[in-house]
Structure 1
């Protein structure tokens, strides 16, 4: 059941587009900086090390982080939501600045500000509109995995002898990861049931989390660089390659799934299946209601 503006407590929010647009840019910038240093495969090691070693890298990260925190503190007095709810949003954005794309202390509960769409109520209707708007761009973005695979096959297993190709491959995979992360955040924010959306789109979640898991392994690599002669670092590097291949496989699976959704016949079949599931759930609810009414004392 979709959620309409009338079913949400409080008036429809107005204004704030400039503020939320600027903070969206800050959140995306933070996400981009993180994406550049994540290991998305066996390419981009030298560029990632250059970023982490650059004098401006950590000051840039801290500046973007501080902007999110300061804006969150300033937004505590904007809405009339409960103080505990506003503080919860502040903690979320302070811990994970990219969440500022969808969460803000100045955002009324039950509403989202989306670029190009303005204020929208959280619910099925907004989720469907957002999914339709993002469908084609995400298919195009997912197709980028094909030239990435081609570059890796052409350039060799590690692309060590092709630095420019390795750099382009790393940037392309960064763009893919950033796009998937942004889509997931927007879609889960608009979804009426967050857990149901995660279960339905677990592949997208895997695509986002795999580089983060691999990054933890990279930290261990830096910690144990002196163990290269003992072979432990080499084994860890090969294991990271397995993570990278798994990420590619999941991306290809996601691409096939998205292409199937673009097929009208298959899309209609999926809608029919969704209607059948809803009708089955409605029948169960009616049965339970009848059972409960039967237990009530008769007047």
Structure 2
């Protein structure tokens, strides 16, 4: 890549870092609002309002596509990655630069080199707030249970709205953390394998929302029957999601225990040893290739020696 293109890419990345971060976060807020409104059990529940927020997310797609087109126009090396990311706008929240892909912009940190130090720093920054968010699920679950068995839901709709807003904030926090940490690691599959519970927390409300939305649009049943099926699907998904969040909270609290920390560090040592073993295998293969190239030259030297001896005689 020539110097002018390199300079334009860096300049455009720095100009768009904050606006696109805010746009991605706003996109997630609209998604959270759409899902909350659709899964609400209060008198404020409205499918129309949910579809309104869903429509706002659709209206934001051209913004992310426009950024990809701009990177293509100036010749950014990673414009194709930007175009793929525009299909899933939340991933723009913690996108790497479009030049070499070695740096990332994050709030309060600015542009930083993506390495193990940044990963550990961000992980520490998330650990405290995420434990607070995970603990927040306990009073929400308690209120929901008391509400379900002891209190008439019609008496305190404002309290139920607060509870469900708390669930939305929980989902939003888990989603932001997952996207940022996923963007920082190089071994994406290993991260997904280790944090599948977090991924389930993020995806389950979305899958339930899209599934129920499809049911409400495609089925041509009587209004009462259709509404009953939709509410059953919605309620089941919400109960499963709350249980998964509670399990994740327990998992996060267990990580604070010394014994659990030792186990995690031992797992980290095992991973590093596997990486070292793979590096040694690569070194051995390269050394074997070097040795294989060097072997044919030895017979030629051996053959040249008798000729020189004969000429001397």
Instruction: Give TM class, smaller chain.
Output: 0.7 to 0.9
* C-alpha spacing 1:287/1:25, structure 2 compared with 1 (3 Å): closer
- Cross-structure match for 2:214: 220
Q: TM-score, normalised by structure 1?
A: 0.78
Match of 2:83 among 82, 90, 94: 90
Match of 1:24 among 21, 25, 46: 21
* C-alpha spacing 1:199/1:46, structure 2 compared with 1 (3 Å): same
Q: TM-score, normalised by structure 2?
A: 0.75
Shift of 1:169: 1.7
Pairs within 5 Å for 1:119-268: 119-156=111-148, 160-161=153-154, 162-223=156-217, 224=219, 226-229=221-224, 231=225, 233-268=227-262
**RMSD, aligned CA:** 3.4
Pairs within 5 Å for 1:277-288: 277-283=271-277, 286=280
- Whose relative contact order is higher, 1 or 2, with alpha carbons under 8 Å and at least 6 apart? 1
Match of 2:47 among 49, 55, 63: 49
Pairs within 5 Å for 1:99-118: 99-103=91-95, 108-118=100-110
Residue 108 of structure 2 aligns to a residue whose secondary structure is coil
In the alignment of these two chains, the number of paired residues is 283
Q: Hey, what's the Cα distance between the residues in 1 that align with 2:85 and 2:51?
A: 28
The structure whose residues are more often helix, as a share, is 2
Which structure's CA Rg is the greater one? 2
* Structure 1 segments unaligned to the other structure (5+ residues): 1-9
Q: Hey, what's the Cα distance between the residues in 2 that align with 1:207 and 1:48?
A: 23
Q: Deviations over 1:210-259 (max 9, x none)?
A: 00111022213423474355x46534532332222211121111111111
Q: Is the 8 A contact 2:133 2:170 kept in 1?
A: yes
- Cross-structure match for 1:36: 33
Q: Deviations over 1:133-179 (max 9, x none)?
A: 11101111111211221121121179742421221122111111111
Shift of 1:203: 0.6
* Structure 2 segments unaligned to the other structure (5+ residues): 1-5, 299-313
- Cross-structure match for 1:5: none
Q: Hey, what's the Cα distance between the residues in 1 that align with 2:93 and 2:193?
A: 22
Q: Hey, what's the Cα distance between the residues in 2 that align with 1:292 and 1:24?
A: 43
